Amino acid sequence: MTPNSPALEHVPVVVVGAGPAGLTVANLLSAAGVRCVVLETETRQFVERRPRAGVLEEWAVRELEKRGLGERLLAGARRHTACEFRFDGGRYRFAYEELTGLHHWVYPQPLLVSDLLRAYADERGGDVRFAVRDVAVHDVAFDRPSVSYTCPDTGERRLLRCEFVAGCDGARGVTRTALAGGRARVARHDYGIGWLALLAEAPPSTDCVLFGVHPQGFAGQMPRSPEMTRYYLQCPPGDDPENWSHARVWDALRLRLAAEGAPEPVEGPLIEKRVLDMHDYVVEPMASGRLFLAGDAAHLVAPIAAKGMNLALHDAFLLGDALLARLTRGDDSGLAGYSEACLRRVWDYQEFSQWLSEVYHGAAAGDAFRAGTALARLRRLFSSPVAAAAFAEQYLGGAERY
Ligand code: RFL
């Protein structure tokens, strides 16, 4: 090493990103005694507060529990057994647990991230480096890849030499671009729709998720806690959140979620207001050489069906297990089949989100034909037990095989 070269360390695995995917991989490794370093561009306080997802599928929670990561979640999460559709002025409760025996768990993503950080960093003394800058991945085509970054305290450039890199840095990360020199295929889908995503400091008006299908646009209510509710309002893509005053938001929610005999949304301060342009992508394959992507770094699913965090966890379980098999037993089979095993569920969930998008947005498409077929899809859920069972299975991610 020359005096100007970056400070060098060796570690078996570098995990880029301290979201649900990266922290789950890190926990699996550290629980088995395999060292890793997690690099994160934000501060700990920021990642523990960033509001996002809230709906977890039962298989994901069971898997966290099996790995000793579910205790706090099971103590604090709420079980949801039904959702409600509102259309044509009526309310239609869809009791999915009765159909499948499965339910959703509602647990805000920042709480899950805190639990995972506590288990990895506080309880096991795992290495997470927050607020790092200029992360770059090198030489993933070779046996000794490395990851470099700038240390926030000293401004010094550091180099971590490793055997494997887990790219868990989300939709805006850098690891995706290091895949096979940028030659991975990225399949994209743009819905041409925006959602105004809102967090209200107010209790939900009902105990369950609400989907309002209305000619003026979709509206959704997702309870997060007894004091906090997430709402969505369909809007033009690229809309400015400032176009949505407090009064306009609550008028639109009342209108689009209105139904005979239904309580109105409970008004409260809006502590988050941002426009999401609804789009999806899938990177194929999710791995190249010594780099393995997991979660939003590899695939984005618009939050239409609340699938993103579940997929991130699914990847992380597979990747953690596969890395352990390789590093502790020399068994390469998990890593070899990793991308394919993840993508089967990813594509299934993408297809379901696309199907559901038409149900939510068809009525407001300004096209009588699309409005008619979207309504037919909705009615079928409440008239055909077979259609209802199929929907419930997809909504809960409960298929026996993907
Ligand atoms: P994350 O959570 O984005 O974590 C990535 C981490 O990497 C850091 N990072 C970097 N670190 C190092 N170097 C770099 N160059 C870096 N660049 C970025 C970031 O700071 C971050 O800490 O990705 P991960 O782990 O893959 O997890 C994915 C989930 O966060 C995401 O899929 C869900 O939030 C999606 N989603 C939902 N999913 C569900 O399953 N159920 C839901 O109910 C649900 N609701 C939602 C959602 C996403 C939403 N937004 C904001 C798009 C609701 C919303 C509004």
**Contact between 36 and 323 (Cβ < 8 Å):** no
What percentage of residues in the chain have a pLDDT greater than 70?
98
What are the two backbone dihedrals, phi and then psi, of residue 327, each rounded to the nearest 5 degrees? Answer: -80, -25
If you average pLDDT over residues 155-172, what whole number do you get?
A: 97
CB-neighbour burial class of residue 230 (10 A; exposed 0-12, middle 13-18, buried 19+): buried
244 CA to middle of ligand 1, Å? 25
More confident residue, 207 or 152: 152
Residue 368 is encoded by which pair of tokens? 């009588």
If you average pLDDT over residues 91-118, what whole number do you get?
A: 96
Side-chain-facing half-sphere of 377: CA atoms under 13 Å? 20
Q: What is 7-78+105-188+280-352's CATH number? A: 3.50.50.60
Tell me the C-alpha distance between 221 and 210, whole Å: 5
pLDDT single digits (tens) 118-155: 999 999 999 999 999 999 999 999 999 999 999 999 99
Q: Which atom of ligand 1 is nearest to the CA of 297?
A: 26
pLDDT single digits (tens) 303-341: 999 999 999 999 999 999 999 999 999 999 999 999 999
**Contact between 53 and 308 (Cβ < 8 Å):** yes
Question: Residue 314's closest CA among 39, 40, 58, 14?
Answer: 58
Tell me the C-alpha distance between 35 and 26, whole Å: 8
- For position 224, what pLDDT does the model report? 87
19 CA to middle of ligand 1, Å? 6
Band of pLDDT at residue 302, cut at 50, 70 and 90: very high
- Assess whether pLDDT exceeds 50 at residue 115: yes
Q: Whose CA is nearest to atom 3 of ligand 1?
A: 170
Q: Give the Å distances, CA to CA, from 375 to 180, 188, 214, 361.
A: 44, 27, 10, 10
pLDDT single digits (tens) 28-81: 999 999 999 999 999 999 999 998 888 999 999 999 999 999 999 999 999 999
* Topology alike, domains 7-78+105-188+280-352 and 191-278+367-396: no
For residue 194, the surrounding DSSP H or E stretch is: strand 185-200
The second-level CATH assignment, the architecture, of 191-278+367-396 is: 2-Layer Sandwich (3.30)
- For position 53, what pLDDT does the model report? 86
Tell me the C-alpha distance between 378 and 73, whole Å: 33
390 CA to middle of ligand 1, Å? 28
385 CA to middle of ligand 1, Å? 35
Q: Give the Å distances, CA to CA, from 42 to 16, 112, 161, 169, 250.
A: 12, 17, 22, 11, 33
Give yes or no for residue 223 CB within 6 A of ligand 1.
no
Give yes or no for residue 273 CB within 6 A of ligand 1.
no
CB-neighbour burial class of residue 138 (10 A; exposed 0-12, middle 13-18, buried 19+): middle
**Contact between 204 and 223 (Cβ < 8 Å):** yes
- For position 1, what pLDDT does the model report? 45
Strand arrangement of the beta sheet that strand 287-288 belongs to: 127-129, 36-39, 13-16, 164-167, 291-293, 287-288
Give yes or no for residue 21 CB within 6 A of ligand 1.
yes
Tell me the C-alpha distance between 27 and 13, whole Å: 12
Give yes or no for residue 172 CB within 6 A of ligand 1.
yes
Q: Which of 50, 56, 169, 310 gets mutated to test ligand 1 (max ligand atoms within 8 A of its CB)? A: 169
Spans of all domains in the chain: 7-78+105-188+280-352, 191-278+367-396
Give yes or no for residue 343 CB within 6 A of ligand 1.
no
Give yes or no for residue 22 CB within 6 A of ligand 1.
yes
What percentage of residues in the chain have a pLDDT greater than 90?
95
Strand arrangement of the beta sheet that strand 299-300 belongs to: 90-94, 83-87, 209-212, 219-225, 228-235, 185-200, 270-284, 299-300
pLDDT single digits (tens) 331-386: 999 999 999 999 999 999 999 999 999 999 999 999 999 999 999 999 999 999 99
Q: Whose CA is nearest to atom 9 of ligand 1?
A: 169
**Contact between 234 and 219 (Cβ < 8 Å):** yes
